[in-house]
Every structure is written in C-alpha cells, then in structure tokens.
C-alpha cells in the first residue's frame, strides 16, 4: 500500500509515478502498514481480561491462606 510521508496519506497505485513518486508533491513513496484497529481493541481487551484474572488470583490466595 503506497504511502506518502509528506502528504501523510495513502495513495492508490494510479497516483504514483513509474519512478515511485507521489503525483501531488513529487516525493518518494514508501510502503506503509498501519496496525488495524480490531487488533488494537483485541490487545486492550486481553490486557483488561488478564488484569481481572490476576486480581481474582490474588483475592483467592488471600482468602485461602
């Protein structure tokens, strides 16, 4: 997925010259991969879940010691 750092936007393949430059600003285009938002949400939910399970474990140990 072509990405122009100067314009800070994703480009379509027809918006890139044959030399690999942005048609708008003329700067070289790079390959840019953003982290998908569902993956970020999954990480947050996993952290919350593991934090809750750790809390349950601590309270279980406190009550059974």
Q: What is the pLDDT of residue 57?
A: 97
This prediction's pTM: 0.53
Answer for the pair 24, 7: CB distance below 8 angstroms, yes or no.
yes
Q: Residue 46, Cα to own-chain centre: how many angstroms?
A: 16
The C-alpha angle 19, 22, 27, rounded to 5 degrees, equals 85
Q: What is the pLDDT of residue 5?
A: 82
Per-residue pLDDT of 6-54, as tens digits, reads 888 888 888 888 888 888 888 888 886 778 899 999 999 999 999 999 9
Q: What is the pLDDT of residue 38?
A: 96
Q: How confident is the model at residue 60 (pLDDT cuts 50, 70, 90)?
A: very high
Q: What is the pLDDT of residue 31?
A: 81
Radius of gyration of the chain (CA): 23
């Amino acid at each position: 997925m072509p990405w122009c750092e100067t314009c800070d936007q994703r480009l379509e393949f027809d918006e890139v010259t044959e030399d690999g430059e942005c048609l708008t600003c003329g700067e070289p285009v790079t390959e840019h991969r953003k982290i998908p938002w569902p993956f970020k949400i999954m990480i947050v939910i996993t952290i919350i879940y593991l934090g809750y399970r750790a809390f349950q474990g601590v309270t279980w140990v406190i009550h059974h010691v």
